[in-house]
Amino acid sequence: MRTRILGISGSPRSGGNTSILITTALEAAAKQGAKIEFIELAGMNIDICEHCNACTDLGRCKKDDELNKIAETMLTADGIIFGSPSHYASLTTLLKNLLDRTGRFIHLEGKVGSGIVVGRRSGTDIVLSQLLFFMLVKEMIVPGSAFWPVGFSLNVGDIRSDTEAILMASQIGKRVAQLAATLVRNPVPWSVEPRPVGQKVRFGDEWK
Ligand SMILES: Cc1cc2nc3c(=O)[nH]c(=O)nc-3n(C[C@H](O)[C@H](O)[C@H](O)COP(=O)(O)O)c2cc1C
């Protein structure tokens, strides 16, 4: 069975630097035999999380916007590569909304996760940390790369000159695909355990 690797660009610019790095990673994943999917959040209508908790009973968000379609794709992915530019040293609003809206009800546990970040000058490490914090608390499994997957660019396409960032994105895609293929054959226990609908959060191994 081919593994499914999903790349999500949280940039508000379609075809921007984040998208270039994410598609570079996905191309490397495809070379490993993975089925790749790419979503750009640019131009999408994704409202904010209201913390109503309805998703814990419904298994989806009650808001009927474009989020639920993305959530379905995330659910079927074996590995997800999140990408964001640094916006005032933070994840973009678009990607943060996606994480807030889906993090509570999508079973990401045991999936492979990775983050790729771009910025003109500063805040990229903070953004990478934000993504790592999310992936770790969702019990995703994060492969490393030979250098941190961070690139520097201002205008659309500038990232192509950051050859080290292109190389790291490529390595991330390859590692995510390789690890996902291994875990599809040999899943970790917490990836196959379904999240009981109606249960809110996990404390240790117990759902409350
Ligand atoms: C609202 C906004 C805030 C930004 N804040 C930062 C920042 O804090 N640090 C930085 O290095 N670059 C910052 N940038 C620049 C972008 O990170 C940079 O242009 C990046 O290449 C954009 O990637 P994209 O083409 O994928 O959108 C900001 C850009 C915007 C639009």
CATH number for the domain that contains residue 197: 3.40.50.360
Test site for ligand 1: of 22, 88, 162, most ligand atoms within 8 A of the Cβ: 88
Enter the pTM of the model. 0.94
Separation of alpha carbons 79 and 25, rounded Å: 12
29, 173 Cβ separation under 8 angstroms: yes
Query: Any bridge partners for residue 9, and if so which?
Result: 40, 83
Give me the domain span that covers residue 116.
4-207
Q: What is the pLDDT of residues 128-186, one digit of tens each?
A: 999 999 999 999 999 999 999 999 999 999 999 999 999 999 999 999 999 999 999 99
Domain count, the chain: 1
Q: Please name the residue whose Cα sits nearest to atom 16 of ligand 1.
A: 119
CA-nearest of 117, 93, 129 to 18 is 117
Separation of alpha carbons 32 and 26, rounded Å: 10
Q: What is the pLDDT of residues 70-126, one digit of tens each?
A: 999 999 999 999 999 999 999 999 999 999 999 888 889 999 999 999 999 999 999
Test site for ligand 1: of 87, 128, 166, most ligand atoms within 8 A of the Cβ: 87
Separation of alpha carbons 112 and 136, rounded Å: 11
